[in-house]
Amino acid sequence: MLFSRILRLRVLALVLLIVALSAIYYAIFLVYGSNSDTGASVVDKVVVDLPYDATKGNRRIGVYVDVYYESLCPDSRSFFMNELLPTVHKLGDVLFVNLVPYGRAETIIKGEDIEFICQHGPKECLGNKFHACIIQNTKSNNQLSVNVTGCLFEDYFQPQAERCCKKFGVPWEDVKSCVYGSEGTQLLKVHGDLTNRLLPIDFIPTVALNQVTGSKNYQAAILKNLANEVCRILERSSINLSACQT
């Protein structure tokens, strides 16, 4: 009798504890959720130092654009064609674009071997390697990386890769041996490690501005009008670009 009463009290205490903890968790979630929902905290981010630009030989400040995408994804393609390419052509001097082709893939390490499973099948893994190797071979010229990978997306990747490299003067033989050799595999693994830091990912592509991915609303705003979100960050730092006025 006494024993079961103690037991009942304990169960009651445990239930109360769980209720209290859930309430605290929910309260924290609400505060955090309402902050990030508007994306308002995100635009507080100001411009940052960009990597040295070898093609211009000068120090730059501006906005980092990290793009997490995959080669056969229609949403990635439309982001490149409709947002990234035009924005880089318009605001390239104040951007540093960091392309991360991997998306919803998986890296499988079997002893010495590294294999990948990609969302749109083996062709996408190969496509991601084309992207990775082109990025590697255009490292000193950020705008060139975006131009060539953007060209791949014109008709997705395979038949395009050679044409796109030659069009922009990227050494095709180097890209090809990277893609089909161990370098492509190593590069893709690194892109996978970078992507996996963001898990769980809601959507591909995911874009970070100055390393902030923000809320779903912020992501939607970036995917809809990248230039506008970049200009908002520049304006917060009192950088008045004529390209942002149009």
Ligand X SMILES: *[C@@H]1O[C@H](CO)[C@@H](O)[C@H](O)[C@H]1NC(C)=O
Please give the residue ranges that form the binding site for ligand X (CB under 6 A). 89, 141, 143-144, 147, 168, 240, 242, 245
The distance of closest approach from Cβ of residue 157 to ligand X in the complex, given in angstroms and rounded to an integer, is 18
The token pair at 39 is: 């994306």
- Tell me the C-alpha distance between 188 and 183, whole Å: 9
In whole angstroms, the minimum distance from the beta carbon of 125 to ligand X comes to 27
Rank residues 49 and 235 by Cβ distance to ligand X and give the closer one: 235
| Residues paired with 66 in a beta bridge | 98, 208
| 219, 76 Cβ separation under 8 angstroms | no
Look at residue 48 and give its three-state secondary structure.
strand
Cα atoms in the Cβ-side hemisphere of radius 13 Å centred on 11: 6
Supply the minimum distance, in Å, between the C-beta of residue 183 and ligand X. Answer: 23
Cα separation, 108 vs 94, whole angstroms = 37
Q: How many Å apart are CA 137 and CA 158, to the nearest integer?
A: 17
Decide whether 58 or 245 has the Cβ nearer to ligand X: 245
Residue 172: phi, psi to the nearest 5?
A: -65, -40
Query: Which residue number, 141 or 210, has a Cβ lying nearer to ligand X?
Result: 141
Considering beta carbons, is residue 98 or 141 the nearer one to ligand X? 141
Least Å distance, CB 89 to ligand X, is 5
Least distance between ligand X and beta carbon 53 (Å): 11
Please say which residue, 99 or 126, places its beta carbon nearer to ligand X: 99
Q: Rank residues 136 and 141 by Cβ distance to ligand X and give the closer one.
A: 141
Instruction: Provide, rounded to whole angstroms, the least separation between the CB of residue 227 and ligand X.
Output: 15
Report the distance separating Cα 71 and Cα 161, nearest Å: 12
Cβ neighbours of 46 (radius 10 Å): 14
Would you say 59 or 89 has its CB closer to ligand X? 89
- The structure tokens listed for 193 are 């490690």
Strand positions, DSSP E, the chain: 48-53, 58-69, 95-101, 106-110, 113-117, 206-209
Task: Report, in Å, the least distance between residue 140 CB and ligand X.
Answer: 11
